[in-house]
Amino acid sequence: MSRFGEVDDEYDPHALEERVFEYWDDVDAYERTKQHRADGESFFFVDGPPYTSGSAHMGTTWNKSLKDVYIRYKRMQGFDVTDRPGYDMHGLPIETKVEEKLGFENKKDIEEFGEENFIEACKEYADEQLEGLQSDFKSFGVWMDWDDPYKTVNPEYMEAAWWGFSKAADRGLVEQGQRSISQCPRCETGLANNEVEYEDVEDPSIYVTFDLVDREGSIVIWTTTPWTIPANAFTAVDPDLEYAAVRGVKDGESDVIYVAEACVEDVLKKGRYDDYEVLETLEGSEMLGWEYEHPLAEEVPDHADHDGAHQIYAADYVEADRTGLVHSAPGHGEEDFVRGRELGFPIFCPVGSDGVYTEAAGKYEGQFVKDADEDIIADLEANGAMLASEHVHHSYGHCWRCDTGIIQIVTDQWFITITDVKDELLDNIDDSEWYPEWARDSRFRDFVEEAPDWNVSRQRYWGIPIPIWTPEGRDDDEDTIVISTREELAERVDQDIDPDTVDIHKDTVDDLTITEDGTTYTRVPDVFDVWLDSSVASWGTLDFPEDDSQFEELWPADFILEAHDQTRGWFWSQLGMGTAAMGEVPYDKVLMHGHALDEDGRKMSKSVGNVVEPHEAIDRHGSDAMRMFLLSANPQGDDMRFSWDGMRTMENNLRTLWNVFRFPLPYMRLDGFDPTETTLESVDEDLELVDEWILARLQSTKAEITEHFEEFRQDRALEALLEFVLEDVSRFYIQAVRERMWDESDSPSKAAAYATIYRVLEEVVVLLAPFAPFVTEEIYGTLTGGDGHPTVHMHDWPEVEEYWADSELETDVAYVRAVEEAGAHARQQAGRKLRWPVARVVVAANDERVVEAVNRHESLVGDRLNAREIELVEPGQQWGELAYSAEADMSKLGPAFGGRAGEVMNALNEARIDEASLEALEDAVDDVLGDGDELTEDMVSFVTQTPDDIAGTPFGLENEEAGVVYVDASLTDDIESEGYAREVIRRVQEMRKDLDLDVEERIVLELEIDDDRVADLVAGREDLICEEVRADELRTVDVDNGQRKTWDVEGVSVELALEPVAAEASD
């Protein structure tokens, strides 16, 4: 780009972004930026791998934008940042998508299709999805190493998982065992807790009576899963809870039932008893050991029949809810299973992995459990064991992928027994720093404290095979071989394989056997839970252990950043795996952001139809605006509401930046301004106050932005930067230096303004580059020509230059601006447009610094407020003809007046007095002051009430009242003369614009004013008018080539006509 070249008149994000993409390509911007930092201190960022199904939604887009902004920021600070993106490509979600595509119903279809073919189809599908995600991420300018992402399906990555797992096994943390797990009967695999989604469904709700063996009556249990009744082994009570024996009467017959005392009324009502009587109450502990009969003993002949079966036991999962007695089936429920094992019971589970009753279920054999509910309910009724049967709406777990209702069954699974290292896990949490802190201390810690052993085995195909080989014919966890690398695999297996080329997916490794000491070992057929894949990302991303060149230096990760759903996901799996394998937490700093919600704060969901696609946002407002909008949201734990309005605002902000940037370009070009020669340092002597001020503001803005970045509050950094650009640069500085740019001669002042604005723009663009990488690139290129870096993203992060810092000056100008704003307000109150001069502006200051500031900037204030004269009233002095009231300071009034403080405040606010003294004030509020009440200086501040013709407006900084600006709007002939002249000028300018005249074009003007007095006043300013509108003479005009128009100026009719001089000459 050539320096100060022509740029688009308007900010057009789409054309601009397209140009920048091409430019990046042409100059290898990304590669060179990375290369530029290759020798820097390393910063190890690890990308949490998105799952490759579906495209990038607004949440993913937010996540990647955040990553990009911090990566760019760190790079600019000189760090060599690891930026390898990752993709999570294994797992059930992809299997189910592929099954859907192929029209498969269950595992049998897959087996017929062939494991190898199925795995290949999954890989193809995942790769397709990956490409879609990559192009989405690239489209909004994320700079990561897209040519070399880590993929969880690559052999070297799978090996990283094997290695980690084998380290955990070395520490004795891998075991096989029975567990009660959530099983998806369709996918025929166990699910991790975090793969279970809860939905509201209708289920049976039954109250069942178990007849007692040694005494009259029965106990009552409640359940929503009738299909677990066949597996009942015992019933649980709370030994400390009060229970009651109740005789209920129904249809003339009576039953004795036992329930918790608190539940008596509810249960009897459910059972539709006409009347009841409490026979006795007893503690749960007194019921322990009572024996009862299995209500389906005949239907299920093989039911649990061991010693101690069908008795009452204590358990801590009992609550005084429903009946206060809990039907317990250790072959199903997790708590039941744990308690059953404690009691030493054998586990009876008559249900297969497909949810169909086995032979052990007797009468129900071959039925799908949920379908058997009806039969079981009917049988219980027939057996007289049904107290009440109804239905209930409740939330019930479903498979996260196929939406099938899960069942709890006990099966053999492989575990990483992280409960054995719970203390270590909790200790390791403290080695990580979280933003926000509560995410770690409240949320994460709670989760880790309660986390059970990690079930890592899945009975599926598309995953990393579990690298465990067991002696043939056995599948227990004794004498196992755990393989850690491909090399080790090649060495130990009986078959001949090449470790460099072998793909270690299930179809390949299933056939491999190991023979050692005369024993043949075969692999356990399971694959890993997909969460184990990403849990090893901190070394998998380095291709460790295959490539050990970086691990030592980089590990653990310096920084990770994900949404709050990853507390139970990646944040946890990495802690678990890191601790099990390495004894350490694999990350130092964690930034946890929220989810992207719709405009109403609801979750975006396809079924609701409120999803905003990122590409639509880009189409409407551009990538830069979208990024800035996303990055303007607080990243620490809070959810973000998407807002089209917010998007538009960001685009408008960029448009203002664009206008600020292109405004000085024509002048700089015209004057041949060369920023390498005319540097800020070279024009130091010629800098005007406003230049020094904007440079000082720039320094404190830089400091503020960097501080926010270090606290992971890029939203606040952006806010500070935008405020600087919009408030300080656009609305104040540019306004103030415009006239210096118009100066046609080469003045030192103009050079100083150029150098200042150049420095400001350059640094602004660098500071904004991490947020808006496109527009900043183009601006930077235009400013630097060939002299800068090839890309703004190679630039160093701007540091505060103490030389230019000047907090006193910043404060002074802040006062001046406050005066100006208040003056403009007062003008409006007085009904005097800015075009009309006012006789004087009086600044009544409360503070000596205001006096200084206004003195130093008197002409600036005078110009801006179009005042003939600026008058100052020193602190402590009073300006004539003012009335006063008072404002109360509640922090003083409260303690002094107690309950009456509010009343006193109101009286003070309403009081009107002639002089600002406490005595006068006390008199005015006499009726609310009691005997001995006294007002003091610090309780009140006086407020002025102004006379006619004069409007006053208070001004100040941040709640501190610094004084009052009065505008004297009384009229004189001189003022009216200029005012009317300005009215004429402005209308002529508008007509010039209508005629599309060039700025330099000369005209002749005709001027006809109805009102004699006004005509005289305007005549006195003919020179001014001619000069401003570039009129050569005033005379009658032939409007064939020009324009004639009659205007209403403050009620006076003014006829104007003009034509260009050139046009007239050609007549």
Partner RNA sequence: GGGCCAAUAGCUCAAUCAGGUUGAGCGCCACUCUGAUAAGGUGGAGGCUCUCGGUUCAAAUCCGAGUUGGCCCA
Asked whether position 145 contacts RNA by CB under 7 A, the answer is no
Q: Is the CB of 30 or the CB of 836 nearer to RNA?
A: 836
Which one of 149, 204, 614, 646 is in contact with RNA (CB under 7 A)? 646
Asked whether position 519 contacts RNA by CB under 7 A, the answer is no
Which one of 19, 492, 589, 648 is in contact with RNA (CB under 7 A)? 648
Determine the 3-state secondary structure of 104 from DSSP. Answer: coil
Q: 387, 223 in Cβ contact below 8 A?
A: no
Asked whether position 746 contacts RNA by CB under 7 A, the answer is no
Any idea which residue has 């060599």 for tokens?
Answer: 80
Asked whether position 898 contacts RNA by CB under 7 A, the answer is yes
Asked whether position 802 contacts RNA by CB under 7 A, the answer is no
Which one of 330, 594, 635, 1060 is in contact with RNA (CB under 7 A)? 594
Contacts 24+ apart (CB under 8 A), 776-782: 777/20, 777/23, 777/24, 777/29, 778/1, 778/7, 778/16, 778/19, 778/20, 779/657, 779/658, 779/661, 781/1, 781/23, 782/1, 782/3, 782/4, 782/5, 782/7, 782/661, 782/665
Asked whether position 634 contacts RNA by CB under 7 A, the answer is yes
Instruction: Find the shortest distance in angstroms from Cβ 738 to RNA.
Output: 5
CA distance 698 to 705: 10
Asked whether position 391 contacts RNA by CB under 7 A, the answer is no
Phi/psi zone of residue 465: left (φ > 0), alpha (ψ -120 to 50 degrees), beta? Answer: beta
Asked whether position 286 contacts RNA by CB under 7 A, the answer is no
Instruction: Find the shortest distance in angstroms from Cβ 891 to RNA.
Output: 3
Instruction: Find the shortest distance in angstroms from Cβ 988 to RNA.
Output: 10
Rg of the Cα atoms in the chain: 41
Asked whether position 930 contacts RNA by CB under 7 A, the answer is no
Which one of 21, 23, 663, 879 is in contact with RNA (CB under 7 A)? 663
Tell me the H-state helices in 515-671.
530-535, 537-540, 551-554, 570-582, 614-621, 623-631, 644-662, 665-671
Restricted to residues 692-731, the positions that interact with RNA (CB under 7 A) are 726, 730-731
Q: Is the CB of 291 or the CB of 599 nearer to RNA?
A: 599
Asked whether position 656 contacts RNA by CB under 7 A, the answer is yes
Which one of 824, 920, 1015, 1052 is in contact with RNA (CB under 7 A)? 824
Q: 815, 965 in Cβ contact below 8 A?
A: no
Question: Across-strand partners of 1031?
Answer: 1003
Restricted to residues 447-476, the positions that interact with RNA (CB under 7 A) are 447, 450
Asked whether position 422 contacts RNA by CB under 7 A, the answer is no
Asked whether position 1041 contacts RNA by CB under 7 A, the answer is no
Q: Is the CB of 402 or the CB of 890 nearer to RNA?
A: 890
Asked whether position 14 contacts RNA by CB under 7 A, the answer is no
CA distance 290 to 732: 87
Which one of 236, 369, 524, 888 is in contact with RNA (CB under 7 A)? 888
Q: Is the CB of 138 or the CB of 987 nearer to RNA?
A: 987
Which one of 42, 194, 353, 522 is in contact with RNA (CB under 7 A)? 194
Asked whether position 893 contacts RNA by CB under 7 A, the answer is yes
> Which residues have a Cβ under 8 Å from the Cβ of 997 and sit 6 or more positions away?
1003, 1060
Asked whether position 42 contacts RNA by CB under 7 A, the answer is no
Span from 342-350, 532-540, 983-991, 1016-1024 in contact with RNA (CB under 7 A)? 983-991
Asked whether position 638 contacts RNA by CB under 7 A, the answer is yes
Span from 142-150, 277-285, 643-651, 1051-1059 in contact with RNA (CB under 7 A)? 643-651
Instruction: Find the shortest distance in angstroms from Cβ 442 to RNA.
Output: 4
Instruction: Find the shortest distance in angstroms from Cβ 876 to RNA.
Output: 21
> Which residues have a Cβ under 8 Å from the Cβ of 963 and sit 6 or more positions away?
819, 843, 844, 845, 846, 847, 850, 954, 955, 956
Asked whether position 652 contacts RNA by CB under 7 A, the answer is yes
702 marked among binding-site residues: no
Span from 272-280, 839-847, 890-898, 960-968 in contact with RNA (CB under 7 A)? 890-898
Span from 213-221, 466-474, 649-657, 921-929 in contact with RNA (CB under 7 A)? 649-657
CA distance 393 to 605: 23
Please give the size of the binding site for RNA, defined by CB under 7 A: 80
Q: Is the CB of 245 or the CB of 822 nearer to RNA?
A: 822
**Nearest one of 502, 516, 429 to 471, comparing CA atoms:** 516
Which one of 34, 75, 167, 568 is in contact with RNA (CB under 7 A)? 568
Contacts 24+ apart (CB under 8 A), 627-630: 627/65, 627/68, 627/69, 627/140, 627/141, 627/771, 627/772, 627/773, 628/653, 628/654, 628/718, 628/771, 628/772, 630/58, 630/61, 630/62, 630/65, 630/66, 630/596
Q: Is the CB of 35 or the CB of 605 nearer to RNA?
A: 605
Nearest-5° angle of CA 529, CA 531, CA 536? 115
Contacts 24+ apart (CB under 8 A), 503-511: 503/155, 504/155, 504/158, 504/159, 504/162, 504/464, 504/465, 505/119, 505/153, 505/158, 505/465, 506/115, 506/119, 506/461, 506/463, 506/465, 507/115, 507/116, 507/119, 509/465, 509/467, 510/115, 510/465
Q: Is the CB of 656 or the CB of 700 nearer to RNA?
A: 656
CA distance 983 to 981: 5
Instruction: Find the shortest distance in angstroms from Cβ 1031 to RNA.
Output: 12
Asked whether position 659 contacts RNA by CB under 7 A, the answer is yes
Restricted to residues 1012-1031, the positions that interact with RNA (CB under 7 A) are 1030
Asked whether position 813 contacts RNA by CB under 7 A, the answer is no
Binding residues for ATP: 606
Binding residues: 606
